[in-house]
Structure 1
Amino acid sequence: MTGPEDPYFYLDACATAPLRESVISCMVRAQQDGWGNPSSLHRIGCDAAESLERARLSISASLGAERSDILFSSGATESAHLALIGLAKTQSPGRLVISAVEHPAVAAAAHQLVACGWTVERWPVDAYGQIQMQHLDRLLQPPTKIVSLIWGQSEVGTLQPIQAVGEACRSKHIPFHTDATQVLSQGCPNWSELQVDLLTASAHKCGGPRGIGLLLIRQEIAERIQPLFAGGQQENGLRAGTECPVLAQGMAAAFREIASCQAHQVEASGSGIARLRDALLALLCQNDAIRLSGHPRERLPHHLSVLISDRHGQPMSGRALVRALDREGIAASSGSACSSGRDSDSPVLAAMGVDPAWQRSGLRLSLGNWIDPATLPNINNRIQIAIDRLEHN
């Protein structure tokens, strides 16, 4: 067990990432200069409104979007509900297609639509967690009216072929939504090149603040969405409630830094973090008790998901291992942070066809630029110690 002076390693970036220094300083300035209500007509309100729109313009530049394409929300969960339920409100019930490995937020929005007369079909995935493309033509036939796929799966890291699906949806005039929360934490895609109509994300996975997210939305789709709740006319009448310029500025700062790293190909993103991930995986897999889950190549660059067994080849509890790792000075998770508080089988692993005996043995390690490559052997040693101690308890 580690002592108070030993370093603590944070490997749970997919749950939330620490605030970037540039984000903190930007938010401090925004709080000083634009703390008013952006809807107020006096100079303090106008300063806040200007700060909010500067943040929107900055984010649009980072993502290759128009300023009018960006809608602020409280986070990706609200954005996903607005995208799916708001769009469904304006048409007669039909079929919503989602993947079998969606985030709980999208699954919950889909469940609400069932009560409104919609049917929901889950797109089957293979053993790696990728959708099975042989179902494409069937699933895009009537009565399908909306398709939603998670881009980067938060529990097992697998990436979905959203461009191919988006092209097919566009050819059939079916609105296509993607939950891109984990993908945007590692790089800024060009919205103008994506075959996507609605995209949701949160700031806090990117080193930005909690409590703010966005919905990227094509203007022709925005005209077909109804708000989730009544109130003011903020965000083009689609999201009532007083906006927070401070949080918006923080999210804008996070995206600027990600886009800058992407442009200069520095070690803090993209291939650099993937090399760090692969180096840790190579160390971990020297132990036969650890095996990779999710896709070996087409996965989030900062994401590792593994299944853990004991010396007899029997599955170990992922939640128990997370607690053991914490005692050894490592923060990790046993799946999506939104569902890890429950000791139950993983729906994602079940959808991938993982044997039921192994559906509670998943461990997720997600990295960030705060991890020094020189510390990887120490991290690996602590993980092995945690596994050994858990087995002998």
Structure 2
Amino acid sequence: MDNNFIYLDNASTTPLSDNVLNIINSTYRNYWCNPSSTYEQGIKCSTYLEKIRSKIAYIFDAEPEDIIFTSGSSESTNIVFSKIYESFKNGRVVISNIEHQATTICANKLRKQSWDICEWTVNNDGILNILNIEKILTKDTKLVSIIWGQSEIGTIQPVQFIGSKCEKLNIMFHLDGTQILSNGIFSWRDLKCDFLSLSAHKFGGPKGIGILLTKEKSRMILKNKDISLTQEYSIRQGTQALPLIAGMYESLKNIKGKIKLYDYITEFPSNNINKLKNYFFKKIEDNNHIKITGSINHRLPNHISFLILNKLFEPIRAYKIVNFMSENHIAISSGSACSSSSGKPSSTLKNIGFKDDELYSNIRVTLGSINNKSEIDKFLELIQICIDKF
């Protein structure tokens, strides 16, 4: 990659470190047989697979059987919604009105099958309106599915509080944890949640592999007797991608610090990335041409999102900023990579109270361990040029 290239889009995907790439390549060479095969080399691969599963479980303070390998968060979420539908046939599902499209697509499939889909509203910071939780979590609710750290505006939800309520009401609780793990490791044992979806490429691992975290009760819903027990405890069919799983484990080992969980707060470990984000906010606090989207205090540590206003204080379309930065060798985005190229106005910005002429203007900067202050300074210089230029 060009040494002059500045990558500020780590919520979209992250680069592989050398140790992750090396373990993927060595596993392709040494463990290429099918783990479900019953001859010696297949058994060798199966043993290695389960050894990695146990080590990943240890990292999360989980049981090995809690770890279900999938192709990533989208598939993990699909598995949960599909099995809820099969188990209950009809009922109510609660999602927030700022979910990633992977969740909204799943919810809309159930809506077409006459399920009641409730979209839980958020405040202007993007935080769920929890004062009406008693009305939201009705006796007909079978599943609550919430994005823990919102990819477009970075807002963190009070997941432990919601999980406690779901537990009392015997409602299954699924979290989209896709953006969380790059900022620290959490304890699955302590997290009040039944399912959680992860994608390795969001935390320094390879694309095409992820995890669905489960618990004993929730796994019973997911099991399919037609799927072999050797294929993810009869939950997910298909040959396991052992080299990618090995690479994912290696990337998990690279993550530093523990996430602390409280009813209303997710406390992330302090690190250089968080300091870099705070440095950015400090540098722009007096700039009235930059308007922050999402919560300042309850935000992913590596996430910055904002609108840029021109000299006339009109919002500048995000594509102009993204293209200008690209021409200057800086990669940023206008939101989730899955939807930023759609050309549609941001439903997330609309649902947190932004005006119609602002819905096309969100800029997202997401930091990684490869970034530094000089890169932020250069980016800020180019923002000022955009303010004057557009």
The reply to whether TM is greater than 0.5 is yes
> Are residues 1:206 and 2:198 paired?
no
CA contact (8 A) 2:226 2:234 kept: no
Look up the match of 1:75: 72
> Are residues 1:145 and 2:147 paired?
no
Q: Residue deviations 1:195-241, cap 9 Å, x none?
A: 001001100000000000110011111111255x9665511111111
Look up the match of 1:309: 309
How far apart in 2 are the matches of 1:89 and 1:5? 49
Look up the match of 2:341: 341
How far apart in 2 are the matches of 1:269 and 1:322? 30
How far apart in 1 are the matches of 2:31 and 2:246? 10
CA contact (8 A) 1:201 1:213 kept: yes
CA contact (8 A) 1:95 1:146 kept: yes
Look up the match of 1:20: 17
The alpha-carbon distance between structure 1 residues 230 and 280, as it changes in their structure 2 partners (threshold 3 A), is farther
How far apart in 2 are the matches of 1:61 and 1:189? 11
The alpha-carbon distance between structure 1 residues 351 and 51, as it changes in their structure 2 partners (threshold 3 A), is same
How far apart in 1 are the matches of 2:98 and 2:226? 32
Superposition deviation, residue 186 in structure 1:
1.3
SS in 2 for 1:223: helix
State the one-letter code of the partner of 1:262: G
Q: Aligned Cα RMSD in Å?
A: 2.0
The alpha-carbon distance between structure 1 residues 240 and 132, as it changes in their structure 2 partners (threshold 3 A), is same
How far apart in 2 are the matches of 1:132 and 1:106? 19
Superposition deviation, residue 377 in structure 1:
1.5
Look up the match of 1:124: 121
Q: Residue deviations 1:237-276, cap 9 Å, x none?
A: 1111111110001111111111xx2169xxx974431111
Aligned positions, number: 381
SS in 2 for 1:90: helix
Look up the match of 1:361: 361
SS in 2 for 1:334: coil
Look up the match of 1:172: 169
How far apart in 2 are the matches of 1:6 and 1:203? 25
TM-score of the aligned structures, taking structure 1 as reference length: 0.93
How far apart in 1 are the matches of 2:82 and 2:183? 28
Query: For 1:224-303, what aligned pairs fall within 5 Å after superposition?
Result: 224-226=221-223, 232-233=228-229, 234-258=231-255, 261-262=256-257, 270-303=270-303
Superposition deviation, residue 6 in structure 1:
6.8
CA contact (8 A) 1:73 1:214 kept: yes
> Are residues 1:107 and 2:104 paired?
yes
How far apart in 2 are the matches of 1:142 and 1:358? 38
Look up the match of 1:51: 48
Segments of structure 2 that go 5 or more residues without pairing to the other structure are 260-267
Q: Residue deviations 1:296-317, cap 9 Å, x none?
A: 0111000000011111011111
SS in 2 for 1:385: helix
Segments of structure 1 that go 5 or more residues without pairing to the other structure are none
CA contact (8 A) 2:274 2:302 kept: yes
How far apart in 2 are the matches of 1:271 and 1:295? 20
Look up the match of 1:373: 373
SS in 1 for 2:179: helix
The alpha-carbon distance between structure 1 residues 208 and 270, as it changes in their structure 2 partners (threshold 3 A), is farther
Superposition deviation, residue 320 in structure 1:
2.1
Superposition deviation, residue 32 in structure 1:
2.0
How far apart in 1 are the matches of 2:85 and 2:130? 25
Superposition deviation, residue 387 in structure 1:
4.3
How far apart in 2 are the matches of 1:263 and 1:305? 24
Superposition deviation, residue 142 in structure 1:
2.1
Q: Residue deviations 1:292-342, cap 9 Å, x none?
A: 110001110000000111110111111221111101111000011000111
Superposition deviation, residue 286 in structure 1:
4.4
Look up the match of 1:319: 319
